[in-house]
Structure 1
């Protein structure tokens, strides 16, 4: 397809600039494509590495994950609670997570975001445009106790 020779607009120079930016995934020798599942797993593992993250996923996803853990031979989904969009050069990540009680959520979100971006960009060469974090729950230490607790005030 040929461009009109009377191009007075800036589109020719802007397309030249877009082509001048090389991608680690595209070269003269071929193109590398990275599946959504790959980025999803990397982001999920990176988020879980941060101290203060108790779990990933909403209530339903965590319940299904707990059932999956009890089935012999089944493995927990590493990408649970992680949604990604992957393009040719960029990726966007959405995380649903549960924090530990007492952890400052803003600081935790900043640490998770930084770790996810570093891991995804470092392993894939994709530019991470955004990491959106939804905190769905706070894990309390008493949530781990087995059985109902009797109240000392009521007998």
Structure 2
């Protein structure tokens, strides 16, 4: 949780006091783009064992095509949706889980990782992390559907 203080109004009858926290100081405010939060959340979710890929099938196919373009960057925020205010955020992630991994354990690990990363790196309070399991990756499916996951991201 982020600590807040208030800055007193300059004189009575004027603007209400400004709430101060890590992003809103007496010397100015810091704003964070939604895309920054989405990238941090995507990286944190990918670190969890049992997460095979992020997003639904269409998103993974699109990402695999764009990653083949020379000089393109890996899309780490695919499968992540963010709603953000000045001090708080809510995050939705869509994942493909490895067969045999516990949905409950993977989901809780994703929540812990995302909350820890986003709160410590941005100062935003994470209100909720919703995890949507879109598919299960079965052994031997790596190349069958044309999508990209951890085992097919390697250069050949």
How does the TM-score come out when normalised to structure 1? 0.79
Q: Which of the pair is proportionally richer in helix?
A: 1
Partner of 1:35: 33
Q: CA deviation at 1:144?
A: 2.0
Q: Does 1:75 align with 2:81?
A: no
1:80-138 Cα shifts (integer Å, max 9, x gaps): 00010111110110101000110000110000000000000000000000001100000
How do 1:2-17 and structure 2 match up within 5 A?
Answer: 2=13
Q: Which has the larger radius of gyration?
A: 1
How does the TM-score come out when normalised to structure 2? 0.78
Aligned in 2, Cα 1:145/1:83: closer, same or farther, shift over 3 Å? closer
Q: What secondary structure, in the 3-state scheme, does the structure 1 residue paired with 2:96 have?
A: strand
Q: Residues of 1 paired with 2:107 and 2:144: CA distance? A: 30
Structure 1 gap segments, 5+ residues each: 4-14, 148-155
1:16-75 Cα shifts (integer Å, max 9, x gaps): 8xx6x6421111111111111110100000000011101111111001011112222222
Q: Residues of 1 paired with 2:115 and 2:81: CA distance? A: 14
Partner of 2:149: none
Partner of 1:55: 53
Runs of 4+ with deviation above 6 angstroms: none
Q: What secondary structure, in the 3-state scheme, does the structure 1 residue paired with 2:141 have?
A: helix
Q: What secondary structure, in the 3-state scheme, does the structure 2 residue paired with 1:66 have?
A: helix
